Structure 1
């Protein structure tokens, strides 16, 4: 039973990581808290639902849903986000908060208000036995996706020239421009990647949580807490924060459900008190 709960917590942590890593990198580069990030998670799930329904292929949905969500992110960047990067923080919050309602109404208009479900692919539809307890193989797949994305991002950011340019743009944008780094292009591609990762999170967890209007708000607050605890702009902070909040939430709801939410906010409050810039400041 403890192993099953551990894996459930790890699976939820990987979902939070997929959401938080895009948000934290965007904040690190642009200093914008994109409150509409959860909406892209929801839209990614709905796009995946449409692809799955039409082609009867979860794998096509898994591939194309993040790509289409990234294109939506690129569109939003060009028409809105690059223009509000240096705006007053309150204006940024109000504009991105408005996008939440635009996303919600768009989903209701296109897909309706009913809840939907997506079946896991046949390859991952069965359970495996772990120490005499069955465990859904699809949840293990979600864990694998999160770990795979973590290692890919680590390699890109730490071991490639592109990653060095991204890190330079986060650490000191002015110095990066003096070094002839095209920070505008870095911002564009990084923002699009972050949105694509939100879409990936949406379609990945759809077979577990389902697809419904408002699903974005269920994870947005926890995602923001992960970013605050881990430290904006930090890949290490995103994974550590996701693991911390994911495990506290999962185990708390099982063993002390009355205090689970209180503990999460207490963790955030203590982090802000002793490490205002997060556990891993970039």
Structure 2
């Protein structure tokens, strides 16, 4: 097997995993601190992508589009938390699932009413449209390298924020023992709003960066939301470190299995069998990974309440 192909797929897995981390980080904080199942988290990813595409079409500036998506989605997320989601904190998980599933439908129809049914175009910046030679013979798209760099920078920023700042101390306290945090004077309501807005901004960052690679269309958040939940189950609910490790594992396993598994099967079986069996096996490998992790550590790799 060509080493260049393997290197490219590993980089693709790293890029996809870091984008999953942007989604899973906000989701695991909401789930870990608020004890709330928010199925509408993927809709924030979709809204961020649409806002970025609309601003890009109006201004022509990709940087302005990303910043506008971050600000707009963060404000939308905080308003959503203040007006609706706050009423669900004391409800059971079934009520939260039903209410946030209804939010998915409302957001999808709202986007369809504003921007229409047709997908929007979000073009790659011209400066980053070409490849970069990383090693002799190994060329990789510059834009994907930017996504990797941004994902690593956000991961480092979150690590510093959660482990080295007072806000991070409140977040960790809320995730580990919410009643004790409240007894020590932490304003949990304000913390919930800030965390939810921050998670919405991370969703918007993922949506605006992946928009040039994927279609910006209605319902784009549902499929990636499933992977985000897989990530937080593997990493441990409420754990930023677990979200990062889980995202990288899922991104690498998903990308490598979809591209490399059919090639490996062709070495052992007929081309027809490899073509049919490869995609089927690749689609279930991340769930096999999740089952294996849960069998070994039922609370995930790095549970916040451990």
TM-score bracket for this pair, using the shorter chain length: over 0.9
SS in 2 for 1:208: coil
1:218 equivalent to 2:223? Answer yes
State how far apart, in whole Å, the 1-side matches of 2:157 and 2:128 are: 23
In the other structure, the counterpart of 1:48 is: 52
State how far apart, in whole Å, the 2-side matches of 1:263 and 1:112 are: 36
* Higher CA-based Rg: 2
State how far apart, in whole Å, the 2-side matches of 1:260 and 1:46 are: 30
State how far apart, in whole Å, the 1-side matches of 2:299 and 2:102 are: 27
In the other structure, the counterpart of 2:294 is: 272
State how far apart, in whole Å, the 1-side matches of 2:284 and 2:205 are: 29
Q: 2:165 aligns with which of 143, 160, 167?
A: 160
Query: Within 5 Å, which residues of 2 pair with 1:124-163?
Result: 124-131=128-135, 132-163=137-168
Q: 1:11 aligns with which of 15, 18, 40?
A: 15
In the other structure, the counterpart of 2:283 is: 261
SS in 2 for 1:186: helix
State how far apart, in whole Å, the 1-side matches of 2:222 and 2:93 are: 21
| Alpha-carbon distance, 1:268 to partner | 1.3
Q: 1:87 aligns with which of 87, 91, 94?
A: 91
| Alpha-carbon distance, 1:114 to partner | 1.1
In the other structure, the counterpart of 1:231 is: 236
Deviations 1:109-155 (CA, angstroms, capped at 9, x unpaired): 11111122211122212111233132110000011111111111111
Q: 2:117 aligns with which of 86, 94, 113?
A: 113
SS in 2 for 1:128: strand
| Alpha-carbon distance, 1:54 to partner | 0.6
In the other structure, the counterpart of 1:250 is: 255
Gaps of 5+ in 1: none
State how far apart, in whole Å, the 2-side matches of 1:271 and 1:103 are: 33
TM-score normalised by L of structure 2: 0.90
**Larger mean Cα displacement after TM superposition, 208-217 or 6-15:** 208-217
Gaps of 5+ in 2: 262-278
Give the conservation status (yes or no) of the 8 Å contact 2:50–2:120.
no
State how far apart, in whole Å, the 2-side matches of 1:235 and 1:60 are: 28
SS in 1 for 2:213: helix
SS in 1 for 2:38: coil
The alignment yields a C-alpha RMSD, in angstroms, of 1.1
| Alpha-carbon distance, 1:162 to partner | 1.4
In the other structure, the counterpart of 2:208 is: 203
SS in 2 for 1:129: strand
Q: 1:27 aligns with which of 7, 31, 39?
A: 31
**Larger mean Cα displacement after TM superposition, 58-67 or 261-270:** 261-270
Q: 1:104 aligns with which of 84, 93, 108?
A: 108
State how far apart, in whole Å, the 2-side matches of 1:144 and 1:112 are: 33
State how far apart, in whole Å, the 2-side matches of 1:170 and 1:133 are: 43
Deviations 1:243-271 (CA, angstroms, capped at 9, x unpaired): 11111100110122231122111111222
**Larger mean Cα displacement after TM superposition, 186-195 or 119-128:** 119-128
In the other structure, the counterpart of 2:267 is: none
State how far apart, in whole Å, the 2-side matches of 1:258 and 1:29 are: 36
Runs of 4+ residues deviating >4 angstroms: none
Report the count of equivalent residues: 282
| Alpha-carbon distance, 1:168 to partner | 1.1
